[in-house]
Structure 1
């Protein structure tokens, strides 16, 4: 990356241009006068910043606004096509994808079935890129980076995946490398629940939370751990893989056959609890109302699964997400809140601190993983573009 010496005219121009670029991303298209006011710089300086950013192809004129006096003012905005990426969510039965750009424009989300399809990291991701570009009417050549959410623990440093039982055709080692070699693009690979937690922090109910645990309840289970806006992934990327944790003895009262928390609260268990044993989880959840008495049994199991999370992390907030958390909504979160507030310790002589933890339902919907991948992509694209600005 090109560097410039602080205090020199070149450094000052670079600093000003990067400031202008950030303001245009934050506020949308701006006139020279408005950019000057927001940046605290003069109109001539703002005009020079616009001229330089337009010259290097980062911004373009996007129309005019009526001026209080004199001719209408031209407004300038960041070009959507200057750099694009594709956000991808690899699910058990489908692949979701959407094109993303520096201003995070709304683009159509595509859903690709995977049944009977050849599976591999490069095939899955390439197919998703092609579909997202086609839906958005954008050439694949404009894409330079992809962010991919997978149902697995991701060790970024070693490029290794673990807990990959829902990723047929994906190897334990080298998945990111294979995608990069096949596509020629930068690849950001992350755990699906971590991405859902990123979406919740940016767009959901935890925007102002000091810390929170995002509990994904779906076919499988996982926890995204956010502390002051940073996702805690652990040494090998396996932090939060609670589904494979052995259940405590007290779980026998709820399900004597459950060996781990996935047995207790995963897709088949919840489908049975809501009166649709043997049905796919989403289909079962569609058939049950939010006030169904079965949610009481689900809440008992959620509270039990949350006990180690509360004990180890003591988060300010817990978000219930994934298909079951979203379907249960505020009703399920209220039931779980009641159980968390009334926790009793097995030892009668122990008087522990009462947890003051807010339990809330996720508000990012069924595409939370994709939303998180979009957030990661937008931040990456903006950082790369800004780093390239050298006056």
Structure 2
């Protein structure tokens, strides 16, 4: 069933209600979900987000009964994941003059996903506005909630926030508004936050800051209920659940280095962890007492181990520490490997092999992608030559990811 509900003058909900048990992010949504899209019938007709690709044709046909598709001027894509952008390919064919509005990181993703290489894109940045003829849209970038390209859209005149996945619920609701649901949606709202948003909790502050200068009277997300009462309550849930847990967490970073590139990685890991109020002990295994290192590892919550690669192997006395770690009970600790290299970086993989012989929770790229969908976090942390530019950002994102694991309230 396609929804068609007027939220404000010339603003319509036009999404899909999917009341099946829906497989989603390796979960089964027992209450189903909705794919909410929005039509603003202004002088320059605008669509905000679409629906899951499974329902793309139905969505476009439904939309065609409400507006001449060839007259659509803008299609705003807040987030490129196919449950929101999935109708874009068909819609763009039927609306050939429409400009696609998104953040810069979204452009190539949308071009590649839907073969839109010849389409006109409008790249918006934080705080940009767009006049759509009688209404004004304001855009705020909210990266990593829950992917890099994500933004939120605010209709100035109607005071409606269109935040895509943010503030959503997974419920196939036949009553569109939360205040008409007939039950308290708070548990569903929190459940969605924990499943989708909480792994990216450090970026919630960006969202809260973005909302400070917006007078939000209605939140129209891309899943579940539309919120028009108790707005502050739902924003407060996000803010309070993203706050760091009590201090006292400790991390140990042990490394050996050849030309100081691995040392620089270690120092950047330390910097990011300390910014999250995590106590960090940093050891060069060639210059520190092994007994002191082992004692610190015993009391740590997370252990990073890294080496430069020379002649396809680790360097220095790091292997002595790793051998000792395989004999220890390290249950409950987080482990991560890192290092720099010039060719293939075998030492980093050898460290990873040692760590997986322990009973630590050893981080891997595969694990991160499967649990969060994040592609900017990499384990082991591999840097070719010196950490700079995009490679340095990956180091920092990986450290931040471990910090979030340590401080997570869930």
**TM-score (ref. length: structure 1):** 0.30
| Larger relative contact order, structure 1 or 2 (CA cutoff 8 Å, min sep 6) | 1
TM-score, length of structure 2 as denominator length:
0.29
Bigger helix share: 1
